[in-house]
Structure 1
């Protein structure tokens, strides 16, 4: 062959989607090889090869996928899609997978379905190269830093509780014809002289520890009570300083109209919240003829406060409480304002420390720093967006779909076939500790679930070995099931966690009065049973730090011991803490841990 001879080949670039259409056209008989090659601009010889592959395995996606040279793909497109779907389901259920978990799942998936692979059999993991290619082929997946979400919130935010709240919300709005200017949300947030979280800073790469100046290791807590309407009207905040006497200079630089009170703990109290309601009434000026709706969480200072209810009923304030453990999704202030406020406050504290070297942030600088952050975060856009995202105004319960309630499905008991035993959970088999999840997003005609469809009469039969390569006998959900409880542990006593309710309604008020009148008079509220150490008369000593149940109430667990936090000296039920009995002496509540 002459040296200057250039051999012509058809190895040019082609689009997989165009190849897929060309293969389908040839397979259906609507076009020949030459016409399909010219119509869809794909090489003729490559088209012939892809059509032959499709006749063998009957997988159009796999047959038209570009090759990797001598490397062959381990999983087909449908098999990889099943992995993607399972990863997303685990993430929605709050059991997200790490890179190592995904590599282990891929290895087990290949082994369980007898798929040829080149994974590491010693470590039983898929390779890092496969992982990098998998993430590149599925850009909808990304590595994210997860936000810790308590089990109580995962269980509490369920479809039943949310629908019950929207039923009450629609009821009061239809009854009183509330406009966005008359719908308010109130909530408290903690401000410390040492911010809870710090912004990222630029430092030398590879340095093991990077520091940032702060006023102290642990700051003093000041509570700010914020309130905003669905139209973006903000009620001046209330600041609760952790001290006994008030000084006028504590409010220097605070937002205009800010009011303040003092309490040794700096926490919200029942009488303080009544004072805030007076401030709210003087600012909003509601009337019985023109009432307003006030949305708040189920804290005991809000929902078990008879003077508050009387004051609200006399002044035309309708109070509706959110379901327990749902405020992170239902409360407008939590959704759109508290986050920016915390970030801006941290920036203001760091800026003040940078401009005042050698000094520390105290209570006398807090109002000014809070005021600067509040003016940035308390915007009309944030307020309107918060009420819209939560579906409160415009009222729309469909803002939350099935994916939003996926985390709560872990605690739902699966339906089982009736048995002869009276208790369906007696002697459960080991396999019932986890309930396999059926992927509803996979259609019934998926090649994962059934055999490939039959070919036309003029095509050769599909070999059994090739036929089984695309069939999955064990799905990723079978290999790594989504955790799901098999039975509900019955408590020794009935523990009422609270509920969404119209606080100012007559039935709720009468129920609360009945509970307050039926308390045992001989009960010593300062000495809970089954406690080795006597319980001193401290701040909030009658309220559990976790479940917010008041000690001595009719719904309180009187047979369960109480334990005291080593740092803030607050009390909580032993069962609420999650600590082992051997570690109760070292108990530190979550509030103290978060403020470190």
Structure 2
């Protein structure tokens, strides 16, 4: 039979042969050394009183070593260098480039090579061992293995402190002018999310070492149905509304729906458009909203912002439409923060149970109402809605509710902007450089010249400044990590366009702007005559 190695016998987790060794603490060691030096105890008495072996105690006294470290050989890099690796990993995470296990192993190998440390890492693969990584994580419990969430570069750039600060200033202005600071029932958030008529497999319990673990699904990819959700800061949810793709409405679609739910049909797709949003605002939101002026917060989707009739209806009925800044809804929208994740999770659980109880049947539109009713009852709760408005700083009004880690790469962007401001000065300095260096700079793009370090000429120093030179030339683990695993530059120069920020859509200025955009443009008579002549000539050529 093959020999099976137990977990305790693995090289990354050594089990002591004598468990009683090293049970004394650093405090006991200091007390024992102090009593021996003060002649209060002999070496043997202190050894027996504090449970420290006499040879260990004598060696500690002779070497004046009062720090208790782990038994056995120390780590390859030492405690100080390992802490620099930890800080560099945290730095990469803060800039949105969390390293993988492979990245950390490669980083450790390069650091050992640059420091010329005698190691046993794999030189062919240029990687540190997996055992070293496991021990490294055990010695530094502040680092753990987590599953990263994808963050688009647009959200990375869009979620910045300047944009968020402008949004909260505008929100405070709206709440103050309309006396809504103490009226949570008049502050609403609206958003849409897509639900698929399919059960998504999640985490399951299976045999360890299985090559394939599968879960039966109703189909490859189910039909997408849009769910329109809206709630206020008091925790009151409006009944949901759904968008089905198609023209023909059937009464069966309403079976087992949550009370007050509404179904809209869209011929082209199941996504929301301007007509459906206006219909929802008139027939669904307005009859149920609280009396008085009402603030409705949503994202900047075109269906919400571009219809002039929608803006006029909102202005005539005391509905203030506030559009969130682009690419910031994952932190500034209450429904995204506390409702949709729970709604989709409970819907998937209900769909999974439906598939188990209905053999050889797909999840159809007729079953959608029953499944969503189960998920809606568990997710559309007062606690979830109130938590969402509190986490986004809308009610109670708190701009500091947005955590610092939401602004990923903020320091990097500020550095990039500083480089951009100094770009013209650098261009003037480049003109004074030698011809060969100017030719090299012309071959680079503007982005490369902004992000890459500029070659500098050595500054002449007096021969007596040896201490400054030695300090600058000193190779440290921190400098090596910054060279071998630098924080990548993700920002590029974007063509100048109108910067979109949070805005109130029902202001007179915005309404007049929309009216101008909706006005028909005057046709160019000269241009149309040229087109007609061109078509006639082409027709004559075909006849000939």
TM over 0.5: yes
Equivalent residue for 1:342? 344
3-state SS, counterpart of residue 284 of structure 1 = coil
Alignment of 1:239 with 2:249, yes or no, is no
3-state SS, counterpart of residue 235 of structure 1 = coil
Separation in 2 of the partners of 1:122 and 1:200?
Answer: 36
1:12/1:108 Cα in 2 relative to 1: closer, same or farther (>3 Å)? closer
Which one of 187, 204, 207 corresponds to residue 201 of structure 1? 204
3-state SS, counterpart of residue 407 of structure 2 = helix
Equivalent residue for 1:251? 254
Alignment of 1:502-513 (within 5 A): 502-513=504-515
Equivalent residue for 2:10? none
Alignment of 1:215 with 2:215, yes or no, is no
Q: Comparing 293-302 with 505-514, which one deviates more in the overlay?
A: 505-514
Which one of 93, 103, 109 corresponds to residue 91 of structure 1? 93
Cα offset for 1:256?
0.6
Query: Could you tell me whether the CA contact under 8 Å between 1:157 and 1:405 is conserved in 2?
Result: yes
Cα offset for 1:430?
7.1
Equivalent residue for 1:305? 307
Q: Name stretches of at least 5 consecutive residues in structure 2 with no aligned partner.
A: 1-19, 431-440, 455-466, 525-544
The number of residues matched between the two structures is: 466
CA-to-aligned-CA distance 1:342-376 (integer Å, 9 cap, x gap): 01111111211211112221111111211111111
Q: Comparing 384-393 with 86-95, which one deviates more in the overlay?
A: 86-95
Q: Comparing 87-96 with 305-314, which one deviates more in the overlay?
A: 87-96
CA-to-aligned-CA distance 1:262-293 (integer Å, 9 cap, x gap): 1121110101101111111101144xxx2111
Alignment of 1:237-316 (within 5 A): 237-264=240-267, 265-278=269-282, 279-286=284-291, 290-316=292-318
Alignment of 1:75-474 (within 5 A): 75-178=77-180, 179-195=183-199, 197-264=200-267, 265-278=269-282, 279-286=284-291, 290-412=292-414, 413=416, 415-416=418-419, 419-422=425-428, 427=444, 433=451, 472=477, 474=479
3-state SS, counterpart of residue 287 of structure 2 = helix
Cα offset for 1:13?
2.3
Higher helix share: 2
Query: Could you tell me whether the CA contact under 8 Å between 2:198 and 2:221 is conserved in 1?
Result: yes
Cα offset for 1:334?
0.8
Equivalent residue for 2:483? 478
Cα offset for 1:423?
9.4
Cα offset for 1:317?
1.0
3-state SS, counterpart of residue 163 of structure 2 = helix
Cα offset for 1:315?
0.9
Query: Could you tell me whether the CA contact under 8 Å between 2:201 and 2:217 is conserved in 1?
Result: no
Equivalent residue for 2:529? none
Cα offset for 1:323?
1.0
1:114/1:192 Cα in 2 relative to 1: closer, same or farther (>3 Å)? same
Cα offset for 1:473?
6.4
Equivalent residue for 2:11? none
CA-to-aligned-CA distance 1:146-199 (integer Å, 9 cap, x gap): 22221111121111111111111111112222111111100001122124x432
TM-score, scaled to structure 1:
0.70
Query: Could you tell me whether the CA contact under 8 Å between 1:215 and 1:361 is conserved in 2?
Result: yes
Separation in 1 of the partners of 2:195 and 2:402?
Answer: 31
1:399/1:423 Cα in 2 relative to 1: closer, same or farther (>3 Å)? farther
CA-to-aligned-CA distance 1:428-487 (integer Å, 9 cap, x gap): 797974689xxxxxxxxxxxxx99xxxxxxxxxxxx9xxx999546242232111124x7
Cα offset for 1:506?
2.1
Separation in 2 of the partners of 1:42 and 1:513?
Answer: 87
Query: Could you tell me whether the CA contact under 8 Å between 1:184 and 1:295 is conserved in 2?
Result: yes
Cα offset for 1:15?
2.2
Query: Could you tell me whether the CA contact under 8 Å between 1:183 and 1:294 is conserved in 2?
Result: yes
Query: Could you tell me whether the CA contact under 8 Å between 1:93 and 1:406 is conserved in 2?
Result: yes
Separation in 2 of the partners of 1:335 and 1:210?
Answer: 32
Cα offset for 1:200?
2.4
Query: Could you tell me whether the CA contact under 8 Å between 2:331 and 2:402 is conserved in 1?
Result: no
Q: Name stretches of at least 5 consecutive residues in structure 1 with no aligned partner.
A: 1-9, 56-62, 437-449, 452-463, 523-596
1:72/1:138 Cα in 2 relative to 1: closer, same or farther (>3 Å)? closer
1:105/1:435 Cα in 2 relative to 1: closer, same or farther (>3 Å)? farther
TM-score, scaled to structure 2:
0.76
1:122/1:221 Cα in 2 relative to 1: closer, same or farther (>3 Å)? closer
Q: Comparing 155-164 with 106-115, which one deviates more in the overlay?
A: 106-115
Query: Could you tell me whether the CA contact under 8 Å between 1:223 and 1:266 is conserved in 2?
Result: yes
Q: Comparing 499-508 with 419-428, which one deviates more in the overlay?
A: 419-428
Separation in 1 of the partners of 2:504 and 2:429?
Answer: 37
Separation in 2 of the partners of 1:406 and 1:391?
Answer: 19
